[in-house]
């Protein structure tokens, strides 16, 4: 039997206990514990993840995440909120400059999200160790932020058709700047082969938009009156239910098929020290993973997000493989400087879950 390159062996019990403990400590500390709680979750999940039978190690600290969060509040969010408030005051005073100021602030937030995501990933990589080799990420957060902003702009200008091209471009930039020790990854993933599946996704949203249009415009055309608050609540709830049902009915399957193909494409065109990767997760497996994680997170009010992270990590290890084991004598520790603070902007946005 061929040895698996990636395995994950954590049990549900310890993850459940840690989730509950983190929840209780977040209540006591008014959510300040979440930085240390996230660190404990990562340490647990990393320690039960093995690459060629050797465990990963997470060496980050909660204090680093907390300091990064404080810096982001001071340097990023305070100026952003000041700009938005000033813009609203100018708009209220009839000054057109206020609209421009708010627009600039809204555009800037996408740029800042790009910087935050890149720095968060860099921090995560530098706190990941395997066989004494520290992972790392080179490249420029500024370049990645510009690519992210361009991705958002092009999505609007092309009605979404730039999606696969820009998504692959962003992930190629990430992978080509990722390394273990001083050995980097090489990713040459194309986007052309993804467009057939992406077209199915794009056209699958047409019924969703039709449902939305009929649900919102129909009652107005029929002069339906919603006098009571109860009628208004029922009407809004019905619209949301119809939208969710139409998304699940028309879009879920082609969207899952596209994402499964996307990750297979990315893995098959990525190499490490000349070694290729394979990712064999199919559409239905991805749907089960996503729906299960969504139900776990929503029904637990976010308390059991570590369980969703555990399921995601285990699924990734089950379906990702390498052609062969790397020559460990060729891998050396990197001398790149290690960031001292954590993922401040992303921690403030809380957009990366428990990972």
Quick one: pLDDT band at residue 203, thresholds 50, 70, 90?
Answer: very high
Give SS3 for 278.
strand
Between the alpha carbon of residue 287 and those of residues 41, 254, 257, 294, 315, the distances in Å are 24, 10, 9, 10, 12
Stated pTM of the model = 0.86
Residue-wise pLDDT for 90-99, tens only, equals 888 888 888 8
Mean pLDDT across the stretch 268-278? 95
Q: Which pLDDT score is estimated for 210?
A: 83
The pair of structure tokens assigned to 195 is 């467009």
Instruction: Report the chain's mean pLDDT, rounded to a whole number.
Output: 88
Name the maximum alpha-carbon separation found in the chain: 76
Residue 133 CB contacts under 8 Å (≥ 6 apart), including other chains: 180, 181, 331, 332, 333, 334
Model pLDDT, residue 238: 75
Q: What Cα–Cα distance (Å) separates residue 9 from each residue in 44, 55, 108, 131, 163? A: 11, 10, 42, 18, 35
The 10s digit of each residue's pLDDT in 156-188 is 999 999 999 999 999 999 999 999 888 999 999
């Amino acid at each position: 039997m061929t040895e698996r390159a990636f395995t994950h062996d954590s049990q549900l019990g310890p993850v459940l206990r840690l989730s509950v403990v983190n929840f209780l400590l977040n209540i006591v500390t008014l959510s300040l514990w979440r930085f240390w709680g996230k660190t404990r979750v990562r340490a647990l999940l990393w320690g039960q993840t093995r690459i060629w039978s050797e465990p990963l190690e997470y060496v980050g600290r909660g204090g680093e995440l907390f300091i990064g969060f404080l810096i982001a509040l001071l340097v990023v969010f305070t100026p952003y909120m000041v700009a938005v408030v000033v813009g609203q005051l100018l708009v209220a005073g009839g000054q057109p400059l206020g609209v421009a100021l708010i627009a600039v602030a809204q555009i800037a937030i996408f740029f800042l999200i790009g910087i935050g995501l890149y720095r968060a990933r860099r921090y995560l990589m530098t706190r990941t160790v395997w066989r004494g080799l520290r992972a790392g990420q080179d490249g420029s957060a500024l370049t990645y932020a510009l690519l992210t902003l361009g991705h958002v702009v092009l999505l609007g200008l092309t009605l979404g058709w730039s999606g696969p091209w820009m998504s692959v471009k962003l992930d190629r930039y990430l992978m080509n700047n990722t390394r273990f020790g001083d050995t980097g990854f090489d990713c040459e993933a194309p986007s052309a082969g993804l467009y057939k599946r992406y077209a199915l996704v794009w056209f699958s949203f047409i019924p969703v938009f039709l449902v939305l249009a009929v649900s919102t415009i129909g009652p107005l055309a029929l002069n339906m009156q919603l006098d009571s608050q109860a009628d208004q609540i029922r009407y809004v709830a019905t619209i949301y239910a119809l939208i969710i049902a139409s998304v699940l009915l028309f879009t879920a399957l082609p969207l899952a098929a596209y994402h499964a193909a996307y990750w297979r494409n990315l893995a098959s065109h990525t190499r490490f020290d000349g070694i290729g990767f394979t990712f064999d997760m199919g559409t239905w497996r991805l749907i089960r993973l996503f729906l299960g994680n969504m139900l776990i997170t929503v029904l637990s009010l976010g308390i059991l997000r570590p369980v969703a992270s555990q399921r995601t990590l285990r699924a990734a290890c089950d379906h990702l493989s390498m052609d062969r084991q790397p020559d460990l004598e060729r891998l050396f520790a990197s001398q790149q400087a290690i960031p001292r603070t954590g993922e401040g902007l992303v921690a403030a946005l809380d957009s990366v879950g428990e990972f």
